[in-house]
Structure 1
């Protein structure tokens, strides 16, 4: 730096040796040693002091290098200047300098700049731009970096929802190209197929990763293998074997997640001491999310065993910094516990979010409702209304939590009896569903599983029963949602796998009773994470999607795994409720030994009595707070504010209003997969004049356990056998007697 000398002695973070080296390099002057030597010296000085955190000074030194000094060194300086801008938080300037680096001037700096340009654009979710820059790196530039870019591009295409291109790039990385990137690509392919519901393919890819390829990738593969075989085969011992391999890799990033999985399985197996030891062994320093989830599971265990005090102490220690979504879950749990214990106003201390402008994590439903409560609080000068409104919101979250069907780990010490769910349909629809991946003349035939609009259900009171019980709206048929801005899409399932009544009502072929089939799904077909978000609502932000003119666009329009939630049957005049559940006969069908069937039934009844008691308590409290809102709103003189309050209440109740059905339908024992969105969401597809629907991306055949054929559809048995010949799905004729009529 000839014009801008600086005192190296002031750089106190340098070692004596580094200070001496920088002093010597500063003695290299352009006029004495020449342009190229001067540029080399400045590059080295900048590198030394940048490594010690003096980034602005390093940038100034690199800026002294001119294009006339050396194209090669100038390009290196451009790259370094871009890097310094990125470190100082100015990505726009970093992009500007990296773009100026040319291949012909300095190949190494060109490659590094293109890699970093892609990373910056990917970080900002501009995956198309990221792919553009990564694609500039060619195989002749270096085999390792080329295959690393193929990995990056494959991941970016997956982020865009273009899984065909993603799979093509990832699958093109061979073992002989680069063991590490091969292993990472296999894992990425496994995840893609896992989320598409193709469990067999996922297992195939995860199983191909070896420890000698890359230890971190091996840990990742073993962890996900445990997950997939648990879903596919309910193979707990197999999952434990894989996860213990991960735990043995003590510094692997998935070690804590594996411990968490092992703890959950031990809980289900009744090995409580082993489970508690494993969950307690997860440190917050290793993995904050796994630690927080483990703490929530420990609290749930204590709560279910009557040790509410221990549970509350754990919930109280969960902080916003750990994870706001889990923090909110803990707050809801504490508040409800205090409500149960009649602790006067103590419950509300955990629900008072007014004026704090919290954004409840990634979930748009929680974020939107919390923000609107805060906005309304600023307008309505009645804190009691807002207190009751917030209490309603928290109780709704508590009801959702109780209604989720987790199918494993927490609710039972032995294997959960709620592991399989039936969907009744016609033989013609079943034919389309089971042929989805077949091709004929290079064209796909068949259909994805669909979620249809609420308009197709047979209960005219859908969505209104709860409002009637709560006395929420004066005109039940003119609620804020009646303009159909929001559409509800449903898929209906039941605990009754072989029910004559449901065969007669549903899945009729040509209007003929008992002529359909019952598809029995494993729990792997659904989202079963205990602490997953309210994942089925996508209504508040304008839906953004990559518009593309190729087949990959269609993959963006399908739903990933959704939760299955049980229905509540409510008689609105008396307040009587019953939860959807298995009946006693299904246990006698499942277990040949009558004593075992009776014991399993009694255990299940004990569980359902407790769950019903919890739901009854929450609904009673919900009614109380709604009544308080109705009393308080009389003080709201502004008609527009009153309408805003109605609109917010309607939004808050969206996740549960279609889960509460009239008690007249209780024998259906229904569970629902539900998705609520705006009509302009590209996921919403249409057959004009006939149907609005959304397709579900998860593969059916990989997640089927059994098929029951109705009494009047036995002639379809050989055709179903042909469709399922490449699976281990069992096909059985219905056990129900039925006299066919012409």
Structure 2
């Protein structure tokens, strides 16, 4: 324990010092932390924890290239990737760009839009126990091309030559967030009740407190990782809420460049002979880090395109795209500025549950009542068939004193609700 205390002191030096000279000194101290991590005094769990802290400590020092390299190396190791394998390296690079560490997210608020009834269930307002937030199946998301856009870019779409389609043994589950808080378009699309636009709820996270804590990238890919290295991530590690440390990913948007979508709308142009471009939004206002991310994403995608042009691509290599295919969406969804928590599961996993009310499958995430900082009720919250009142919702939330309750005043008229059957 003496060594961990020393590491803590060194780590917070690098975190707090802003003067250039002191930053350089803190950077030297990081080398000492790295040396201690490689010593014999730490168990595997402590070592993993401090490796993450070491990587994160590089970020405020503005050593972005080195930060990226260490982050990528960490991902290669945690996912049991082969450092000498080109496709493993390309995928690790993409994950190092799109997996957002807590240090990168900082205090950026994220919004999750949902319906009033789901909001009530999450906070247990109807006399029932609070429900965990759910990660929904990728199969029935509002985007019919979910998971396919990257495959199209790489010319790896499923070929259905027979009169049937083979089903994957895996499925992706995620819950989505947006940097667009109290946004009219988001309110119009998501969380509608009785078909009334802007009648849902906007849950705001990461506004007053750090939502993401220690995250573990392998938790998104447990069955894939275990297939590469048996029981690297034991099943029982995910039985408790404490151990469910899903990382956050930013979504990038792939566009087919035509007369309406110009190259200038995409920050990344993929080779001169390609008609595809990619939009990667900034995370916060760090321009220098954003430039590093754009460069690394462009390099990795171009390398993947070259790799999959080879005729003899193995099925194993193609299956590796499961790690990243759900981190890209069609350019048409660019206004969502989406982030997501994601988990890949085998379809026979005990973690997958069936909701009879919605006839859908999902994976539970967590009780989020201590993660939410604000609930913004849509402009038309009171204009559905359910006779809801903002005042009543505010009263029902009285026990959650840390959560601010607001009523949106975005300018939108209420369309008529669906008729009651």
Which band: TM-score by shorter chain?
A: 0.7 to 0.9
Task: Give 1:570's aligned residue.
Answer: 254
CA change 1:578–1:477 in 2 (3 A) is farther
**SS state at 2:370 partner:** helix
Query: Retained in 2: the 8 A contact 1:426–1:509?
Result: yes
The question of 1:651 aligning with 2:313 is answered no
Matches within 5 A, 1:288-303: 289=47, 296=55
CA change 1:507–1:453 in 2 (3 A) is same
Deviation per residue, 1:598-633 (Å, 9 max, x gap): xxx8x4455434422331222112212222x33xx1
* Deviation of the 1:295 alpha carbon: 6.0
Size of the alignment, in residue pairs?
Answer: 373
Give the alignment partner of residue 683 of structure 1, picking from 351, 364, 368: 351
Task: Give 1:329's aligned residue.
Answer: 73
Task: Give 2:378's aligned residue.
Answer: 710
Query: Retained in 2: the 8 A contact 1:559–1:695?
Result: no
The structure 1 segments of at least 4 consecutive aligned residues displaced by more than 4 Å after TM superposition are: 267-271, 285-288, 290-303, 540-546, 554-559
Distance in structure 1 (CA, Å) of the matches to 2:360 and 2:217: 29
CA change 1:482–1:500 in 2 (3 A) is farther
Query: Retained in 2: the 8 A contact 1:487–1:677?
Result: yes
* Deviation of the 1:498 alpha carbon: 1.0
* Deviation of the 1:738 alpha carbon: 1.3
Matches within 5 A, 1:127-146: none
Query: Retained in 2: the 8 A contact 1:263–1:279?
Result: no
The question of 1:252 aligning with 2:11 is answered no
**SS state at 1:694 partner:** strand
Deviation per residue, 1:181-202 (Å, 9 max, x gap): xxxxxxxxxxxxxxxxxxxxxx
Query: Retained in 1: the 8 A contact 2:248–2:341?
Result: yes
**SS state at 2:110 partner:** strand
Provide the aligned C-alpha RMSD in A. 3.8
Distance in structure 2 (CA, Å) of the matches to 1:329 and 1:657: 21
Matches within 5 A, 1:385-464: 390-408=85-103, 411=104, 419-435=108-124, 440=127, 444-464=128-148
Please list every run of 5 or more consecutive structure 2 residues that lacks an aligned counterpart in the other structure. Answer: 258-274, 383-387, 417-421
Task: Give 1:465's aligned residue.
Answer: 149
* Deviation of the 1:501 alpha carbon: 0.4
Matches within 5 A, 1:98-247: none
The question of 1:533 aligning with 2:217 is answered yes
Query: Retained in 1: the 8 A contact 2:107–2:210?
Result: no
CA change 1:617–1:528 in 2 (3 A) is farther
Task: Give 2:395's aligned residue.
Answer: 722
Q: Which has a greater percent of helix?
A: 1
Distance in structure 1 (CA, Å) of the matches to 2:245 and 2:211: 7
**SS state at 1:535 partner:** helix
* Deviation of the 1:471 alpha carbon: 1.4
Task: Give 2:63's aligned residue.
Answer: 304
Distance in structure 2 (CA, Å) of the matches to 1:299 and 1:476: 47
**SS state at 2:247 partner:** coil
Distance in structure 1 (CA, Å) of the matches to 2:221 and 2:248: 13
Structure number with higher relative contact order (C-alpha < 8 Å, ≥ 6 residues apart): 2
The question of 1:279 aligning with 2:23 is answered no
**SS state at 2:394 partner:** helix
**SS state at 1:702 partner:** coil
CA change 1:427–1:472 in 2 (3 A) is same
* Deviation of the 1:279 alpha carbon: 2.7
Task: Give 1:266's aligned residue.
Answer: 16
Distance in structure 1 (CA, Å) of the matches to 2:6 and 2:40: 7
* Deviation of the 1:653 alpha carbon: 1.1
* Deviation of the 1:297 alpha carbon: 5.6
Query: Retained in 1: the 8 A contact 2:102–2:212?
Result: no
The question of 1:663 aligning with 2:331 is answered yes
User: Which stretch shifts more, 466-475 or 715-724?
Assistant: 715-724
Distance in structure 1 (CA, Å) of the matches to 2:242 and 2:64: 41
Q: Which has a greater percent of strand?
A: 2
Task: Give 2:191's aligned residue.
Answer: 507
Please list every run of 5 or more consecutive structure 1 residues that lacks an aligned counterpart in the other structure. Answer: 1-250, 316-325, 333-359, 374-386, 547-553, 583-600, 634-641
CA change 1:395–1:434 in 2 (3 A) is same
Give the alignment partner of residue 674 of structure 1, picking from 336, 342, 350: 342
CA change 1:273–1:719 in 2 (3 A) is farther
Deviation per residue, 1:408-459 (Å, 9 max, x gap): 2xx5xxxx565321100011110000118x9x5xxx5342110110122111
Query: Retained in 2: the 8 A contact 1:580–1:671?
Result: no
Larger radius of gyration: 1
Query: Retained in 2: the 8 A contact 1:467–1:476?
Result: no
Task: Give 1:16's aligned residue.
Answer: none
Distance in structure 1 (CA, Å) of the matches to 2:41 and 2:9: 11
CA change 1:490–1:579 in 2 (3 A) is same
Task: Give 1:336's aligned residue.
Answer: none
